[in-house]
Chain A
Amino acid sequence: MEYFVQQLVNGLTLGSIYGMIAIGYTMVYGIIGMINFAHGDIFMLGGFAALIVFLALTSLFAGIPVVLALLIMMIVAMIMASLWNWTIERVAYRPLRGSFRLAPLITAIGMSIALSNFIQVTQGPRNKPIPPLVSSVYNIAGISISLKQIIIILITAILLSVFWYIVHRTPLGRAQRATEQDRKMAALLGIDVDRTISVTFIMGAALAAVAGTMYLMYYGVVVFTDGFIPGVKAFTAAVLGGIGSLPGAVLGGLLIGLIESLWSAYFTIDYKDVATFSILAIVLIFKPSGILGRPEVEKV
């Protein structure tokens, strides 16, 4: 039983990271109906930004408090990832809006290849390990919960509530929802559609960067290929939760994280990715609208 709860905690931590990435997928897919294939690599860029800031901080101010360092890492990573995603949207996706549907998918795949290879070229192909940032572990009723797990789960909860508030209670969120429902009508009603879409990309990237920072803190290592597998898993999470739905993305992320850690704990670790991909296929085939999504009505 303790082992099971332990795995549950590990799964929730992993799932929180997936959930944060998944929000970016789900928001972008909801608003312009494209799979932003490069989103996983934005997550990786965020992780690298956090890594570089961490190294710069430790070499400049040796005795900096960990909380402050983490905060600065997170903020810089958010800014960097947002800038990248904003630029990519401007350069690679916006000129193709209104073109045929495959075009932005192809540029997104191209961007994904370019981004991971850009990091490989500029930062080198090796694993980038850092010493553990937060190492306290608490023992509660036989279950060991580390401080970093608590941080990750807390930050996810806070960010999800902030994002939920933005999307449902602010004029910006209203504009986003209007653009999502009917872009042309929204433009006619005076919403700056291009700006709304840009903001959506920036918001998604900021969350992915937080996830990247958390990933770096949790595993203590980042490498240029890190964008692909977490990216696909986060997309799976977004689809599982119902694409276009924010709580759905986090719910999907948590489920994927739980499945992955429970599968590794009770079955074989080799096939954990097979399990995730199989779930993706099964969900899409039998319930394409996901758990919390609205079913799509086929129009003739």
Chain B
Amino acid sequence: MATVSANPARAEASSTARALREAVFAGIIAFGLFVLYVGLKTDQNISNELILVQRWGLLAIFVGVAMVARFIGVLYVQPFLKRRRTAKSEASDLELQPSYFRRNFSTIAIIALVLYPPLMVALFGTQGSLKWVDNFGIQILIYVMLAWGLNIVVGLAGLLDLGYVAFYAVGAYSYALLSTHLGLSFWVLLPLSGLLAAVWGMVLGFPVLRLRGDYLAIVTLAFGEIIRLVLINWTDVTQGTFGVSGVAKASIFGIYSFDVGAANNFAKVWGLPMSAAYYKIFLFYVILALALLTAFVTIRLRRMPVGRAWEALREDEIACRSLGINTVTTKLTAFATGAMFGGFAGSFFAARQGFVSPESFVFLESAVILAIVVLGGMGSLVGIAVAAVLMIGGTEILRELTFLKAVFGPDFTPELYRMLIFGLAMVVVMVLKPRGFVGSREPSAFLHERKSVSSSFTKEGHG
């Protein structure tokens, strides 16, 4: 070893040789992995029989990419990461004064979000703004709100919930069914569906009080699936897989309506040309307000005894119990509060889509929400919002990449790759940054001075 490092030229050569060896190895593995699935494709011929289509060129590309990636990785990326790690450990612990932008990040972000719809209208016109406000703005904000709601359960109380989408479904179906059958308005049903979801949170939370960690995760997954299956099979009420359609739109507190035929239609009253964009812009502000409410409640609750109890529960359940904290009420309030925000988001979702079906509440949604919470660095509201923008916005952008058609031919549909890339991104981000995007937390309680601690010192809880 010593002789090698004494001679830089030989060290260089040996590391290149090692990279080459690794690249060949990676190529063999990649060939093995992809030979059946990429090299051959099962297709139906005219008489509906399966036949194999050979795609050896594509397989060669896969293997080649794997080899090149491994070669570059071993030769350049690994030494770079190693250098950076040593540089980091040698750097002093002195906290640098964060920049103005970083200190006021939340204020700037909120102002930017309030200005977002008018800006989009100005840039793309009323009709053109529709896509940007709806697909990017509202879609991302729904996930931000859901993730912040789940954060109360997972990030604060440390209860791993894989069935969060069930409460989203409860909220959506409460609004859809009660508004179509009883004709109640959005603003009456919004709090009501939140309440119903909270009750369901308690009902489902009660049996799992004794469970911890992975088992809790699996039981909540089972509950989520049970609710979805009931929604599918209880056709008398939910109309099964057909879903409930024609769900009433929300109105501006009953003053202006967005129904095309109504006399107090917003566009008609103000003499504007008819467009779906006004409704979307209105919805954007509604979900923004709801999401900010979630954040506000979370921040305030963390300062209150119940929030302190949640965080104590996350850190150590046994210590928590020996200090006289009632773990039953602590867990149930966490489940109920988290579920309530899921319910709010659900009824908003129903009002936005005008249609709900069990398709929207599959396990994948729970997984996506949980992934956002964990990738954002559990417990950090800003981190979660950043993660939601990156993960949801990133996959939405894929829909827009039509220029890729020019590269890969007209058959190329980027939407197909959305979830594939999402899944891989979950893995890559987790491996590179296991503590999430925001790796530090403000302590809730502190002695003498407020010091940011690395979140590697905080536990994720086993409750």
How many residues of B are counted as interface, with CB atoms below 8 angstroms from the partner's CB atoms? 60
Task: Tell me whether B112 is interfacial, beta carbon within 8 Å.
Answer: no
Task: Tell me whether A215 is interfacial, beta carbon within 8 Å.
Answer: no
Task: Tell me whether B131 is interfacial, beta carbon within 8 Å.
Answer: no
Residues of A contacting B419 in the complex (Cβ-Cβ under 8 angstroms): 113-114, 117
Residues of A contacting B230 in the complex (Cβ-Cβ under 8 angstroms): 274
Contact across chains for B370 and A106 when beta carbons are under 8 A apart = yes
Task: Tell me whether B274 is interfacial, beta carbon within 8 Å.
Answer: no
Within the complex, the shortest CB–CB distance from A51 to chain B, in Å, comes to 6
Query: Taking A110-B423, A120-B416, A228-B363 as contacts, is the C-beta distance between A128 and B36 under 8 angstroms?
Result: no
For A107-124 the 0/1 string (1 means CB < 8 A from B) is: 101111111011111111
CB-CB nearest in chain A for B422: A113
Task: Tell me whether A187 is interfacial, beta carbon within 8 Å.
Answer: no
Contact across chains for A52 and B33 when beta carbons are under 8 A apart = no
Contact across chains for B427 and A126 when beta carbons are under 8 A apart = no
Contact across chains for A100 and B41 when beta carbons are under 8 A apart = no
Task: Tell me whether B50 is interfacial, beta carbon within 8 Å.
Answer: yes
Contact across chains for A59 and B52 when beta carbons are under 8 A apart = yes
The listed residue with most A CB atoms (<10 A of its CB), out of B37, B229, B370, B459, is B37
Contact across chains for A113 and B374 when beta carbons are under 8 A apart = no
Task: Tell me whether B254 is interfacial, beta carbon within 8 Å.
Answer: no
Task: Tell me whether B417 is interfacial, beta carbon within 8 Å.
Answer: yes
Residues of A contacting B217 in the complex (Cβ-Cβ under 8 angstroms): 35, 105
For A173-204 the 0/1 string (1 means CB < 8 A from B) is: 00000000000000000000000000000000
Q: Which of A83, A123, A288 contacts B33 (CB 8 A)?
A: A83
Could you say which interface size class chain A belongs to?
35 or more
Contact across chains for A113 and B233 when beta carbons are under 8 A apart = no
Segment of A4-12, A137-145, A247-255, A275-283 in the binding face: A275-283
Query: Taking A107-B426, A110-B371 as contacts, is the C-beta distance between A128 and B50 under 8 angstroms?
Result: yes
Within the complex, the shortest CB–CB distance from B172 to chain A, in Å, comes to 20
Q: Which of A83, A270, A273, A300 contacts B318 (CB 8 A)?
A: A300
Contact across chains for B41 and A285 when beta carbons are under 8 A apart = no
Q: How far is the CA of A245 from the CA of B79 in the complex (A)?
A: 43
Q: How far is the CA of A130 from the CA of B42 in the complex (A)?
A: 11
Task: Tell me whether B211 is interfacial, beta carbon within 8 Å.
Answer: yes
Q: For chain B, what secondary structure do more than half of its interface residues adopt (helix, strand, loop), or is it mixed?
A: helix
CB-CB nearest in chain B for A55: B52
Residues of A contacting B225 in the complex (Cβ-Cβ under 8 angstroms): 232, 273, 277
Q: How far is the CA of A278 from the CA of B219 in the complex (A)?
A: 9
For A246-278 the 0/1 string (1 means CB < 8 A from B) is: 000000000000000000000000110110011
Contact across chains for A51 and B42 when beta carbons are under 8 A apart = yes
Query: Taking A103-B430, A121-B416 as contacts, is the C-beta distance between A56 and B52 under 8 angstroms?
Result: yes
Task: Tell me whether B252 is interfacial, beta carbon within 8 Å.
Answer: no
Contact across chains for A100 and B431 when beta carbons are under 8 A apart = no
Query: Taking A124-B43, A285-B210 as contacts, is the C-beta distance between A118 and B219 under 8 angstroms?
Result: no
Contact across chains for A92 and B427 when beta carbons are under 8 A apart = yes
Contact across chains for A99 and B37 when beta carbons are under 8 A apart = no
Task: Tell me whether B410 is interfacial, beta carbon within 8 Å.
Answer: no
Within the complex, the shortest CB–CB distance from B41 to chain A, in Å, comes to 6
CB-CB nearest in chain B for A48: B37
Contact across chains for B229 and A273 when beta carbons are under 8 A apart = yes
The listed residue with most A CB atoms (<10 A of its CB), out of B229, B232, B370, is B229
The listed residue with most B CB atoms (<10 A of its CB), out of A83, A96, A107, A112, is A107
Q: How far is the CA of A99 from the CA of B459 in the complex (A)?
A: 11
For A147-185 the 0/1 string (1 means CB < 8 A from B) is: 000000000000000000000000000000000000000
Contact across chains for A280 and B42 when beta carbons are under 8 A apart = no
Within the complex, the shortest CB–CB distance from A248 to chain B, in Å, comes to 15
Within the complex, the shortest CB–CB distance from A83 to chain B, in Å, comes to 5
Q: How far is the CA of A105 from the CA of B223 in the complex (A)?
A: 19
Contact across chains for B52 and A123 when beta carbons are under 8 A apart = no
Contact across chains for A53 and B41 when beta carbons are under 8 A apart = no
Task: Tell me whether B65 is interfacial, beta carbon within 8 Å.
Answer: no
Contact across chains for A113 and B38 when beta carbons are under 8 A apart = no
For B334-364 the 0/1 string (1 means CB < 8 A from A) is: 0000000000000000000000000000011
Task: Tell me whether A70 is interfacial, beta carbon within 8 Å.
Answer: no
Within the complex, the shortest CB–CB distance from B351 to chain A, in Å, comes to 28
Contact across chains for A96 and B218 when beta carbons are under 8 A apart = no
Contact across chains for B214 and A105 when beta carbons are under 8 A apart = yes
Query: Taking A113-B423, A117-B420, A117-B423 as contacts, is the C-beta distance between A274 and B374 under 8 angstroms?
Result: no
CB-CB nearest in chain A for B240: A270
Task: Tell me whether A80 is interfacial, beta carbon within 8 Å.
Answer: yes
Q: How far is the CA of A117 from the CA of B425 in the complex (A)?
A: 13
Q: How far is the CA of A61 from the CA of B29 in the complex (A)?
A: 28
Task: Tell me whether B324 is interfacial, beta carbon within 8 Å.
Answer: no
CB-CB nearest in chain A for B49: A131
Residues of B contacting A232 in the complex (Cβ-Cβ under 8 angstroms): 221-222, 225
Contact across chains for B33 and A87 when beta carbons are under 8 A apart = yes
Q: How far is the CA of A165 from the CA of B41 in the complex (A)?
A: 38
Residues of A contacting B459 in the complex (Cβ-Cβ under 8 angstroms): 100
Task: Tell me whether B125 is interfacial, beta carbon within 8 Å.
Answer: no
B271-329: which residues lie under 8 A (CB-CB) from chain A?
A: 318
Residues of B contacting A56 in the complex (Cβ-Cβ under 8 angstroms): 40, 52
Contact across chains for B430 and A106 when beta carbons are under 8 A apart = yes
Contact across chains for B207 and A281 when beta carbons are under 8 A apart = yes
For A67-83 the 0/1 string (1 means CB < 8 A from B) is: 00000000010001001
Q: How far is the CA of A26 from the CA of B142 in the complex (A)?
A: 37
Within the complex, the shortest CB–CB distance from B82 to chain A, in Å, comes to 15
CB-CB nearest in chain B for A60: B52
Q: How far is the CA of A270 from the CA of B44 in the complex (A)?
A: 30
Residues of B contacting A218 in the complex (Cβ-Cβ under 8 angstroms): none
Within the complex, the shortest CB–CB distance from A205 to chain B, in Å, comes to 12
Within the complex, the shortest CB–CB distance from A201 to chain B, in Å, comes to 14
Contact across chains for A129 and B50 when beta carbons are under 8 A apart = yes
Q: Which of A48, A84, A102, A278 contacts B160 (CB 8 A)?
A: A102
Task: Tell me whether A20 is interfacial, beta carbon within 8 Å.
Answer: no
Give me 12 other A-B pairs in contact (C-beta within 8 A), A56-B52, A95-B431, A106-B370 excluded.
Answer: A35-B214, A55-B50, A59-B51, A100-B459, A113-B367, A119-B37, A121-B417, A124-B42, A277-B222, A280-B218, A281-B222, A288-B211
Please list 13 pairs of residues, one from A and one from B, whose beta carbons are closer than 8 Å in the complex, sorted by A's number. A33-B214, A52-B37, A76-B36, A92-B431, A110-B424, A121-B416, A121-B417, A236-B222, A274-B230, A277-B229, A280-B222, A285-B208, A285-B219
Residues of A within 8 A of B (CB): 29, 33-35, 45, 48-49, 51-53, 55-56, 59, 76, 80, 83-84, 87, 91-92, 95-96, 99-103, 105-107, 109-115, 117-124, 126, 128-130, 228, 232, 235-236, 239, 270-271, 273-274, 277-278, 280-281, 284-285, 288, 298, 300
Question: Top 4 nearest A-B pairs by Cβ distance?
Answer: A110-B426, A114-B423, A113-B423, A117-B420
